[in-house]
Structure 1
Amino acid sequence: MSAETLQIDSLGAQGDGVAHPEGATVFVPFTLPKEEAKVARVKDQATLISLMSAAPERIKPVCRHFGPDGDGGTCGGCSLQHAGDALYHPFKRDLVVQALKSKGIEAEVAPLMTAAPGERRRVVLTAKRTDKGLLLGYNQAQSHHVVDISECPIAVPGIVSRLGDLKRIAAVIVTGSDAARLTVTETLNGLDVSIEGPKTVGSGQRRTLTDTLNSMQRIGRVSLNGEILLEPAKPLLDFSGARVVPSPGAFTQATVRAEEAMAELAIAHIGKAKRIADLFAGIGTFSLRLARIGQVQAVESDGNAVQALDHAWRNTQGLKQLTAEKRDLFRRPLMTQELNKFDAVVFDPPRAGAEAQCQELARSKVKKIVAISCNPLTLARDLAILTAGGYKVGTVTPIDQFLWSHHVEAVATLTRR
């Protein structure tokens, strides 16, 4: 594999630099447009050896683990720490612009709502035991190698300051050679640590875990594959005054600021709607806020999330009627006649989008819709279905909830013509 020099022309959708030697397309991680890079290439993938010239937008990464010179390997948690805001912010917004354009959707795309370091309250770490001890961190890009981290500039200080404690907890649970995944969420009552991987733990491990947690502060809960092992303090999340105890490993928005921005956009659009459906409702991120406006039907496939949502509603004063239904909206979307009783619908599906549900929505009489998505491509597909059914897209707002990555959140507002 010989070295060659490439001119970087643009940024690809994954955040890699893109070069076009002799008409080919080659992706070069950690490079920027207008840079000249010496690389080692295998087909359309290249590894950066050295920069021959740097772009004016290039900045020094803030994390020691980032990039080809990162300590202990290249952390795959971020892909764009080397890009200054003048390049990075337009790149994020353009991911949404190009996705809409690909489906022929004409809509106003608002300026990017930007993110700041230290805001991620939810991170997913990998723990793996090796001959040198336990590693805890993020996987190296396109690899199963775990980069053992000692810092993480995107995460809230409450998580970063506890990396040592998290490694001690993982060391009790992860005893074999298989990797485990730790979903760590900062809550009002400390960290909620949900571990997936090891099938079970013995009585000795439970005793050791108890002793370990007794020496720590502000660890609210530790669970394994959905089973609560220890819960010194029930983890609590606050959704505009409604307190929710999330089920182990429950999905939460990555940052509080992005969550609040999405909720504000949704509430501003639906106005004084009396009957609202919140689809793919999760633990009630939007449902409980919407219940201050009108009656809400929340629909979610995860039974534990439905229970958490319902419990929070029953224990929060000042909310209007809310019904929580367990239902798989991929297999059993709300049908047109069911939807027609609502004035407004909010939906926030997984990355796969809400194609089946949007086909029913497109035939409905619902006046206003708010579509929230972490995948611009499936969002654009779903919006195309709705516009073909007679809805007009108002504003699409990109939100940088995933700092220094190629992922972007977006909120689209629609009104029936």
Structure 2
Amino acid sequence: MTRAILEIERLGQRGEGIAKHSGRTVFVPFALAGERVLAEVDGERGRLVEVLTASSDRIAPICKHYGVCGGCAVQTLAPSAYTAWKRGLVVTALANAGISTDVAPLLDAHGAGRRRVVFHARDGAVGFMETRAHKLVEIDACPLLDSGLAPALDAARALARALKSSGKPLDIAVTSAPEGLDVDLRGSGALSESEARALVELAERLDIARLSNHSRVLALRRRPTLGVGSARLSPPTGGFLQATARGEEEMARLALQSIGKAKRVADLFCGSGAFALRLAEVARVDAFDESAEALAALEEAARSVSGAKPVAAFRRNLFENPLRAEELEGFDAVIFDPPRAGAAAQAAELARSKVPLSVAISCNAQSFARDAKAMIDGGFALEQVTPIDQFRYAAHIELVAVFRRAASKKRKAPLLSR
């Protein structure tokens, strides 16, 4: 490892400053474009030692742990520069895929803050990991969390101490719900009878609504629920959840706005129904996902809403068994919201189909661009891309995109067996 003075050329996809040193690219976390910095360099990695010449876009961080904790990448970037960088993540991914389209201004969806947090625990200590390291940074607060997570850190510490003797690293996922904290432990493996009993007692003392270990419920004192449109959803423990309530609302708003007067919609990778339950207020919905628990929660929530259109839930692994082009006939619109890996197989079938309208919701600009290229090559026009920021100060970016074909005659959809 050597010390070197570096000129930061730009910010990369992970929010790290990028410089050249001895003919190699070096990534320096917490450095900004245009800065001259002193860094410790080890191969392609640089550790910021001192900012020698600061960028005019540098501002003070909002968190005392910034610069050590790896949870945030760009707290010191001024708002206008931050917005341009984050929108640029989508613009660059599309350009790299050879796609030219208008990208809307960045939509801020931080709202009240993140409603789920995953703490790491090592030997009873709780916090987040350092940037590009396996070292734990203990924290005493995180300013990005929803107020409903105010008790989360104390609860995580107590749970970590209770399992400290196992010597295993833990991930402690805590979700804010009106009924209280919904906690799922990961990493401990199967619990002994005494460990399980101690955790149940802790759940009572800490007033935790639901406590689970690897999605297996240990204590259910109050059933956590979330509002989804006019429905009330009780999500499965450990199930997928958009990071902020505002983010989910904005994505759903854009999806509903885009489908217009569609009467029948397919919701692919539907999870527990963040979009399907809202879509059902205006259209009949066929919802597909691999998780039986998520689909059960969706069906239960759908039954609780009077006056909504029918929602049919189908269990299906869309990575290995995507809806074929023939099965997609008759749908007026398709919504798809895959995990970070994207939906290459399903996008290929959409490209072959006659579906007139498709709305993509993505959490990875690169995999989206790959899938978008396949759909464009299949005859879709990419009309609209809206980047959504629900992970403030992080390099994660969501987006909603609208694909449309020229008007074509619709056919009656085939019946799908469960």
* TM-score bin (small chain): over 0.9
Q: Which moved more, 1:308-317 or 1:369-378?
A: 308-317
- Give the match's secondary structure for 1:107: coil
Contact 1:117-1:154 at 8 Å conserved across structures: no
Q: Is the 8 A contact 1:152 1:160 kept in 2?
A: no
Q: What are the ranges of 5 or more consecutive residues in structure 2 without an aligned counterpart?
A: 407-418
The answer to whether the aligner puts 1:168 opposite 2:170 as a matched pair is: no
3-state SS in 2 of match to 1:185: strand
Cα distance change of structure 1 residues 272 and 38 upon mapping to structure 2, 3 Å threshold? same
- Which residue of structure 2 aligns with residue 212 of structure 1? 202
| Offset at residue 351 of structure 1 (A) | 0.3
Residues 116/237 of structure 1: CA separation in 2 closer, same or farther (3 Å cut): closer
After superposition, give the CA deviation of every residue in 1:151-189 in whole Å (9 maximum; x if it has no partner): 111111221343112211232245322211111111121
| Deviation for aligned residue 1:116 | 4.2
1:279-308: per-residue Cα shift (whole Å, max 9, x none)?
A: 000000001001111110100011111111
Distance across 2 between alignment mates of 1:210 and 1:110? 48
Paired letter, 2:72: C
Mapped to 2, the partners of 1:24 and 1:179 lie a distance apart of 35
Instruction: Name the counterpart of 1:66.
Output: 66
Specify the alignment match of 1:101 in structure 2: 95
Separation in 1, partners of 2:156, 2:173: 11
Is 1:239–1:289's contact at 8 Å kept on the other side of the alignment?
Answer: yes
Residue 380 of structure 1 pairs with residue 374 of structure 2: no
Structure-1 residue corresponding to 2:395:
406
Task: Give the distance between the partners of 1:300 and 1:84, measured in 2 at CA.
Answer: 40
Aligned pairs (5 A) from 1:128-147: 128-129=122-123, 134-147=124-137
| Structure 1 residues 108-127: aligned runs within 5 Å | 108-116=102-110, 119-127=113-121
Residue in structure 1 matched with residue 232 of structure 2 by the alignment:
243
Partner AA of 2:83 in structure 1: H
Q: Please report how far the alpha carbon of residue 229 of structure 1 lies from its aligned counterpart in structure 2 after TM superposition.
A: 0.2
Tell me if 1:190 matches 2:184.
no
Q: Does 1:75 align with 2:76?
A: no
- Quote the Cα distance in structure 2 between the aligned partners of 1:349 and 1:18: 30
Contact 2:111-2:246 at 8 Å conserved across structures: no
Which deviations, in whole Å up to 9, do the C-alpha atoms of 1:37-90 show, x marking residues without a partner?
0111112211111111111111111111110xxxxxx21111111111121110
Counterparts of 1:146 and 1:355, CA distance in 2: 36
Aligned-partner SS, 2:272? coil
Are 2:145 and 1:151 aligned?
no
Question: What is the TM-score of this pair, normalised by structure 1?
Answer: 0.95
Overall identity of the aligned pairs, in %: 41
Aligned to 2:360: 371
Q: Which residue among 315, 338, 344 is the counterpart of 1:349?
A: 338
Q: Is the 8 A contact 1:275 1:344 kept in 2?
A: yes
Aligned-residue Cα RMSD (Å) equals: 1.4
Q: How many angstroms apart in 2 are the aligned matches of 1:171 and 1:411?
A: 41
Relative distance call for 1:118 and 1:148 in structure 2 (3 A) is: farther
Q: Tell me what 2:253 maps to.
A: 264
- Which amino acid is 1:154 matched to? L
Distance between the aligned counterparts of 2:302 and 2:386, measured in 1? 29
Equivalences for 1:305-384 in 2 at 5 Å?
305-384=294-373
Name the count of aligned residue pairs. Answer: 406
**1:25 counterpart SS class:** strand
The Cα of 1:208 is off from its aligned counterpart by: 2.4
- The corresponding residue for 1:44 is 44
SS in 1 for 2:133: coil
Aligned pairs for 1:20-59 (under 5 A) are: 20-21=20-21, 23-59=23-59
Give 1:206 shift: 3.1
Distance in 2, matches of 1:286 and 1:360, equals 21
Change (3 A) 1:109 1:399: same
- Aligned mates of 2:43, 2:193 — CA distance in 1: 51
8 Å Cα contact 1:118/1:153 also seen in 2 = no
TM-score normalised per structure 2: 0.94
CA contact (8 A) 1:117 1:403 kept: no
Deviation at 1:137, TM superposition (A): 1.4
SS at match of 2:288: strand
**SS at the partner of 2:49?**
strand
Structure 1: segments with no counterpart, 5+ residues: 68-73
1:198 is matched by which residue type in structure 2? S
Deviation per CA, 1:298-349: give whole Å up to 9, x if none. Answer: 0001111111111111122121111111110000000011101211000000
Equivalent residue in structure 2 for 1:227, among 216, 223, 227 = 216
CA drift of 1:118 comes to 5.1
Task: Specify the code of the residue in structure 1 equivalent to 2:125.
Answer: L
Q: Is the 8 A contact 1:3 1:41 kept in 2?
A: yes
CA distance in 2, matches of 1:7, 1:101: 26
Residue 108 of structure 1 and its aligned partner are, at CA, apart by 1.4
What letter is aligned with 1:211?
A: E
Aligned amino acid, residue 47 of structure 1: R
Query: Which residue does the alignment assign to 1:70?
Result: none
Work out the CA distance in 1 between the residues paired with 2:102 and 2:364. 18
How far has the Cα of 1:143 moved from its partner? 1.7
Instruction: Note if contact 1:121-1:256 (Cα within 8 Å) is conserved in structure 2.
Output: yes
Pair 1:289–1:117, CA change in 2 (3 A): closer
1:224-256 residue CA offsets vs partner (Å, 9 max, x unmatched): 011100011001011012111111100000001
1:215 Cα offset (Å) = 2.4
Q: Which residue of the partner structure matches residue 412 of structure 2? A: none
Counterpart-to-counterpart distance in 2, 1:224 and 1:207 = 12
SS at match of 1:49: strand
Query: What does the per-residue CA deviation read over 1:122-158, in whole Å, with 9 as the maximum and x for residues that have no partner?
Result: 11111121xxxx1111111122211111111111122
- Cα pair 1:283 1:309 within 8 Å, conserved: yes
Local SS of the residue matching 2:281: coil
